[in-house]
Amino acid sequence: MNPWRQVALLAKREFLERVRSKPFIITMSLLVVAILAIGPVISMISGGADEVTKVGLAGEELPGIEQELYDQAILFDIEIEVERFPTRAEAETALTDGRVAVVLVDGTEIVFHTSGSSRLTALVHNAVDTTLKTQALTELGLSENEIALVVEPVPVEVTTLEEQNAQDEVKRGAAFVGAIFLYISIIMFGQFVAMGTVEEKQNRVVEVILSRVRPWQVLVGKVVGIGLIGLLQLVVFSGAAYISAQFADLPDIDVAAIGLPVIASLLFWFVLGYTFYAFLYAAVGSTVSRQEDLQGALMIPIALILPGYLLAIFAAEDPDALLPTVASWLPPWAPFVMPVRIAAGVAQPWEIVVAVVGTVLGAIALVWIGSRVYSGALLRTGGKISLREAWKAAAE
């Protein structure tokens, strides 16, 4: 029988037994619903910008103030609607109830409910100012054109030295969120591998399996089966996030242009990073015999992964700094740091090649080391054995 067919059978069991389990289905469904909800929620929160701001007028009204408010609103890029109140008291009630955002009383006083918005203050103030000036200039006998010359704002061009591109900002943010996802996924599925290994040792089924297949097959089958669940979960989550982002109603952001590369990068680096760490997790998992002893053994992979995560945060802040740059070349951390640097647009093509090739080679080395430790430790039950003992035992 082809050994890879057995590996496929082992992987299939790992995959199906976990995917079919109720806790997995429930957790996945809840998280997908939560992710799908984020977009519409963002849209609702930020949606205020699109809503019409109501401006109230009470008491004595300046002639032409309404038109001037609308004109100013265009300059301020705020959509407003003017509403009149017969008395100040009624206007204040409307303010308290939140029916209007600001009220201009007698053309001399701007009233807010709580703290005032400086933009609205400026808008109303400008309107009052312009109205009064127009009035005064008209009384002085200036023509409409002459008045316009005085009160119309002079067009001034606005230039920024550094383009603050919302698209780039969001792209880096998305890459950083991707790094967090990657970090959580690698730890989570790595731990599944370690726990699965201990479980098989603890309930002794390992001897039944090993009478049919060799240790490396069990190891590869487990890593592949659990890895496929990880991929499935990432695809589902990032798909949900992508759909969710469509509903977030983000102006000036091209969701597809940012989302698809980030998702592709996440999946790519997950495969590399997970492969690298899964064999390490399996090796340390095989050295203990009971789940209770596992936490201590898991410190080894965590100690490698955590710096990667911290370096990814560092890289998001300052992608060109020396530390994240060097870390992004090295196998243990490249999967976390390199995607962030790529998204920031600072990674050179040769750096990406070094990172990918290095991680692949590192993963191959860990497959070999992990398999050997795993073979040596698998049938040793009863206590914890050190990685070195397991390594030696494999040679016996």
Q: Which residues sit at the interface with other proteins, rule CB under 8 A?
A: 1, 3, 6, 9-10, 13, 17, 203-214, 379, 381, 396
CB of 287 or CB of 325, closer to other proteins:
287
**Neighbour tally for 14: CB within 10 Å:** 23
The least distance separating other proteins from the CB of residue 303, rounded to whole angstroms, comes to: 31
The least distance separating other proteins from the CB of residue 48, rounded to whole angstroms, comes to: 50
Residues pairing with 82 in the sheet:
55
Q: For residue 156, give both structure tokens.
A: 């001034």
Q: Which residue stretches of 287-348 are H helix? A: 294-297, 299-317, 322-327, 334-344
The span from the CA of 35 to the CA of 26, in Å, is 14
Whether the CB-CB separation of 374 and 194 falls below 8 Å is answered with: no
Whether the CB-CB separation of 241 and 288 falls below 8 Å is answered with: no
Secondary structure letter of residue 211 according to DSSP: T
The least distance separating other proteins from the CB of residue 20, rounded to whole angstroms, comes to: 10
CB of 118 or CB of 211, closer to other proteins:
211
CB of 144 or CB of 207, closer to other proteins:
207
Q: Which residues contact residue 136 at a Cβ distance below 8 angstroms, ignoring those fewer than 6 apart?
A: none
The least distance separating other proteins from the CB of residue 313, rounded to whole angstroms, comes to: 38
- In this structure, is the dihedral angle defined by the CA atoms of residues 202, 207, 213 and 214, taken in order, positive or negative? positive
The least distance separating other proteins from the CB of residue 370, rounded to whole angstroms, comes to: 19
Whether the CB-CB separation of 36 and 243 falls below 8 Å is answered with: yes
The least distance separating other proteins from the CB of residue 284, rounded to whole angstroms, comes to: 21
CB of 134 or CB of 217, closer to other proteins:
217
CB of 17 or CB of 109, closer to other proteins:
17
Please give the single-letter amino acid code of residue 115.
S
CB of 25 or CB of 205, closer to other proteins:
205
